[in-house]
């Protein structure tokens, strides 16, 4: 059985970045607006989307062009290969809302 590595022992550890709080502009109304813009659909998998993801992984960058609706399953995939997800989601937002 494979041993799970937590915190600093995990190879994906980013110095505790995930524990950083969201900025004050990441409000319920902003999240609701992004879900509405995306028609409550996961913009990757197509299922019901409830989670708002920061495309550039910067919790203080709350520009609408940096936010995308995902389902929790797809959102969990974005912790690996961040460069790929940034590129993909930027292109999705640009093609759908520019």
Report the domain count for the chain.
1
Range of the domain at 85: 9-97
For residues 80 and 88, give the distance between their C-alpha atoms in angstroms, rounded to a whole number: 13
Q: In this structure, is residue 3 part of a structural domain?
A: no
Does residue 38 sit within a domain?
A: yes
Q: Is residue 87 part of a domain?
A: yes
Rounded CA gap, 78 and 70, in Å?
10
The answer as to whether 78 is a domain residue is yes
Whole-model pTM: value is 0.81
CB under 8 Å to 49, separation ≥6 — which residues? 35, 38, 40, 41, 42, 43, 69, 70, 71
Residue 86: pLDDT above 60? yes
Q: Give the chain's mean pLDDT.
A: 89
* Residue 4 in domain: no
């Amino acid at each position: 059985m494979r041993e799970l590595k937590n915190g600093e022992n995990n190879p994906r550890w980013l110095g505790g970045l995930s524990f950083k709080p969201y900025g004050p502009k990441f409000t319920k109304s902003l999240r609701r607006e992004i879900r509405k813009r995306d028609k409550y659909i996961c913009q990757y998998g197509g299922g019901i989307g409830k989670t708002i993801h920061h495309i550039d992984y910067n919790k203080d960058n709350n520009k609408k062009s940096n936010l995308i609706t995902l389902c929790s399953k797809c959102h969990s995939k974005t912790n690996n290969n961040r460069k790929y997800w940034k590129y993909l989601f930027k292109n999705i937002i640009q093609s759908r809302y520019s």
